[in-house]
Amino acid sequence: EYKSYLRKMSKRRRITNALGSEVVPGSIMKVELQNFMCHQYFEVEFSPTVNFIVGRNGSGKSAILMALVIGLGGKSSATNRAPNMTEFIKQGSSWAQVAITISNSNVNHDAWLHEEYGDSVIVERRITKKTSHYKLKTDDGRTVSTKKNDLVLLLDHYNIQVNNPVSILNQEMSKMFLASTDPSDKYKFFMKSTHLEQMIEDYQSINEKLEHTVMTINKKEKSIPDVKADVRILANQYHEVTELRDLGNKVSLMKDELIWAKVKDIEDELIPLESSLAKLNLHLPNIEEKIRHHKEKYAEAEAGVKAIEAESTAEMARFTSLESDQSSLRQLASAKRRLLIDNKGQQKSKQKQIAELEADNQQLAERIKEIQEKNDAQNHEKERTMKKNELEEARSQQRLLMEQMTHATSNMEALEQKLNQLNEEHSRVRDDIDHIEVEARNIDSNLKMHKEASQNRVRVFGRFMPDLLKRIEVAFNQGRFTHKPRGPFGLHIKVKDSTWSRVIELAIGGGMCNFVVHNNKDKNVLQELFEKCIQSRSEWPNMIMMKFRDTKYDVRQQKPATEYQTLYDMLDIDDCMISNALVEQYRIEQSLLIRSSEEARKLIIGHCPRNVTQAWTLSGDDVRERGVYTNDLSRRQTQYFGSDHTQIIAELEKNKANIMEQKTSCYSKKASLDREMKAVRSQSHGIREKQQRVKRELNKVKSKIIELDTIEDVPIIDATAMEEDVSQNNNTIQQLKHELSTLKEKEAKLKEDYDDASKKHNESLERDSFINNRLEELKNKINEGQRDLNKKLATLNIYKEKKKDITNQIKAFKNDKTNKEKEIEAARELAQSRCAPVKVVRTSRELEQQIYNMEARIQKGMKSTLKVEDITRRYHEAKKKYEEIRKSVSVLKNFSQTLAKTLSERQDKYFRFRKEITIRMNFFFMMNLSQRGYNGKLSVDHVKRQLKMQLNVDTSGTSEETHDVRTLSGGERSFSTVCFICSLWNIMESPFRALDEFDVFMDLYNRRITMNLLMEHASQSSRPRQYIFFTPQDMSTLSKRFKNIKILQLAAPERGSNT
């Protein structure tokens, strides 16, 4: 078909102009516009070769292109500019008109109806507000036809297709197919331009008609048994004529049966009433049992909520008590620690005393041994004189040593007192350091969270949240979700008054991280994403399943009639589903916000207003009808709402700096105390050594005095006093050891007391954290319990309504049963008055139909003797109809088989044609590329429905590698696209081509190359065509380079004018 079409077009006689092109009948000679788009009146004549319509945006270029499409029968949708024809009427006018003059020269006797129209045909289309119509005129204005079908014949004759982008390519079509880098869009453009798409649609239409023919054959074949049965029935009717005599008696008996059948029908109507009544009576106890069951469930749930509320109150009191106990426990631990340190100091002191006494005993033992040796010596008199002098000297030395001992003891006591004071101060500093380090860790944690939140607010709802939201978006784009889950809630909520931010975060709590899903499928998909993003299952956000809708709930009827605002009023929620979820789950429209706790208690406790579930105060109190739950907001910062992270970070940095200064100061003070304690211990050690040294010398002096003092009375020195001192020292050592043992035992007890106090303090801190978490958990349980309570109450009300409905139905069925029994009694009396009871085996409807048929047969039998001839005639007609149907089925089967075979052959030809036209297009594409020194090809994949352009832009010839056009520059892509259009022009015939703003995105160099390509294509084409280009660029230089180019410069639009 394509080859024969080309041969036909090549036979047309061509008129050569100076450019080298040839005028072909069917080209556009003139376009005249009236009240069309921005033109009140506009007329333009076209050259048979190349035409440029040049003008700025808004000057009316596109209106001329739209006029070509609309004037030649195109629909408004084909322009991509207006939804209907009335949009093309100039503002302020009631009609518009487009007149297009088409060349109809008969140079080769190939004109369309040349005898009627002459050398040109004027196609005129007039558009009004309600309709539009066509006129086909001669060149002198005489109307020849007003039928659109004649316009279609004219367009088919000259192969003009306004919907084909090869003929007319507007900006929208170019953006849709050519500007796109998607190979599928290029393939669609190729199929549309080459009519291959239309051929596929035609083959599909033929295939549908073939299927319809097969369905018709099947339908006729199915009707053959029925027609054959009719023939058999008519054949049997003749034999039934003789049986009409017996029908009268049968009808009489059947009428009696009909009377009692109607009685039976009424009785049968009573059966379903009794059955329904019985079922309702059986179902009513079940409903009552369910009502009782749900009442118990409601009471249990209510008791559970009250128990949780009581537990919450107790935990709050316990929390308050623990906070006051923490300070005393910390002080107790510090005191126990100081006692333990004192005990260890006493032990060291006792150990030193024992060591000193043992050293004294050793010296006394040596002295005793020395005295005993001296008692055995001679010349005591001489020695006595010497020892008197020694006695005086020893007593003098003793007084001096006693003074030194007293002074050392006084200094030692002062140092021990100072050391105890330093130990107490050191313990307090260590406690301060521990407290500062805990506070520093808390500040670091908050600082890290707010820094992350300042970079991405989503991180406030969890570090995993940004990754989770990205995965949700990807899964939604992949079609895994029915509706995209909405969340986290806090991301879509703003607080109108920031003073309530902490209170609202407390009220909603963990719900700020919740998500809402449409159905169970979406919930399962979201759970899969949770498993991928969140390591701990305990950190999973809650999911609320609700059917999605596009509007928020109307809560006006549920809001309380008070002067106070509700949580719903205070929140600005930008997502309707999150708003609805908060209404259902948290009853935010029934939670009041009251600044004063006293005012809230007065309003709520004991006499809660209608539609009010609770009230929140600025201090964090949760006031309900049953009581008040207090919360400490003094140390709570806003985490989700309106946080100025920069300010908070600055404040935390400042606090951290202060804490570090305090920490440095404490460590400095601790180091100073350590140095001072070390110095005191060193002094104490020096004094203690001096004491021991003085004491040893004093003991020696005492021993010497005793020895010398008794030298005059006894000739022999008595060592008994020294032995007594040794014994006394031994007793003292035993006593000190006993005291040391007692101190060690006491040390174990003190250490145990200290560990127990520290443990209690730590446990108190853990209990504080645990109770705080427990309070939050209990609050969530209370809210959950309240929601469960509302659900149970709703379920209970549903069953109460069901009971009410069943009771009303039972009452109605009883009335219907009574009325039906009365109706049965009346029907029986009437039947007995007409005949005796008979056995009923058929329904009244069957009897009525049979009686009607029999009476009809009797009436027919009572007619003239032509009855038999009438039946014979009908029998032959039915038989003839049967034979005609069989013959028709045979003919249609042959036709469908022939059509199927022909369609298969045509499809084979289609594939060969598609292959040939693809090869030709690729050949011309390579030829066009070569004009710029490029090479490449078009890869067409008909299976994947993709067309890819592959180019090698290396003009040096050193590389043969081709690249996808998506990797090229904008100018190179534009040039390759023009080459693609020219290759389509080469393979598809059309008397004219029209391109709208084809060069608007090209640079100067690529525009010049493209224009050379287009002009060379126009001059070297083997078949003459007309070209119409629309561009906002200046084309005056082309008239100097090429002859016979018509350039129409449109006037610039005036601002504020649409004319």
pLDDT tens readout for residues 443-493: 776 677 666 666 666 777 777 888 899 999 999 998 999 999 999 988 889
How does the average pLDDT of the chain come out, rounded?
79
| Mean pLDDT for the stretch of residues 738-759 | 78
User: Which one, of 743, 722, 896, lies nearest residue 211 by Cα?
Assistant: 896
**pLDDT tens track for 137-158:** 998 889 999 998 999 998 888 8
The DSSP annotation for 506-571 comes to: HHHGGGGG-EEESSHHHHHHHHHHHHHH-S-GGGPPPEEE----SS----TTTS--SSSEEHHHHE
pLDDT at 246: 65
Q: Which two tokens stand for residue 192?
A: 């549309």
Q: Per residue in 369-389, pLDDT tens? A: 777 666 654 445 556 667 677
Contacts of 960 (CB under 8 A, 6+ apart): 952
pLDDT interval class at 19 (50, 70, 90): very low
> Token digits for 172?
């929208």
Burial of 17 (0-12, 13-18, 19+ CB in 10 A): middle
CA distance 797 to 295: 10
What is the arithmetic mean of pLDDT over 596-622?
A: 85
pLDDT tens, 213-267? 888 888 888 887 887 787 777 777 656 654 655 666 777 777 777 888 888 888 7
Residues 54, 1034 contacting (CB under 8 angstroms):
yes
Q: Which of 356, 445, 370 is nearest to 405 (CA)?
A: 356
Query: Which is higher by pLDDT, 727 or 91?
Result: 91
What string of DSSP letters covers 194-220? Answer: TTHHHHHHHHHHHHHHHHHHHHHHHHH
At 382-426, the pLDDT tens digits run: 566 676 777 777 778 777 878 888 888 888 888 888 888 888 888
pLDDT > 50? residue 71: yes
Report d(CA 263, CA 256) in Å as an integer: 11
Long-range contacts of 963-969 (CB under 8 A, 24+ apart): 965/181, 966/181
What is residue 378's predicted lDDT score, i.e. its pLDDT? 45
Task: Report the run of H or E that residue 787 belongs to, with start and end.
Answer: helix 720-834
- Which of 664-668, 704-708, 755-759, 923-927 bottoms out in mean pLDDT, i.e. has the lowest? 704-708
Give CA–CA dist 213/888, Å, rounded.
Answer: 12
Q: At what angle do helices 970-987 and 867-930 cross, to 10 degrees?
A: 130
Reported as a single tens digit per residue, the pLDDT across 941-1000 is: 888 888 888 888 776 666 667 777 677 776 677 778 888 888 888 888 788 888 887 666
Question: To which H or E segment does residue 993 belong?
Answer: strand 992-996
Q: Which of 622, 631, 591, 623 is nearest to 604 (CA)?
A: 623
1054 or 938, which is more confident: 938
- Give the pTM: 0.39
Amino acid at 536: S
Residues written for the chain: 1059
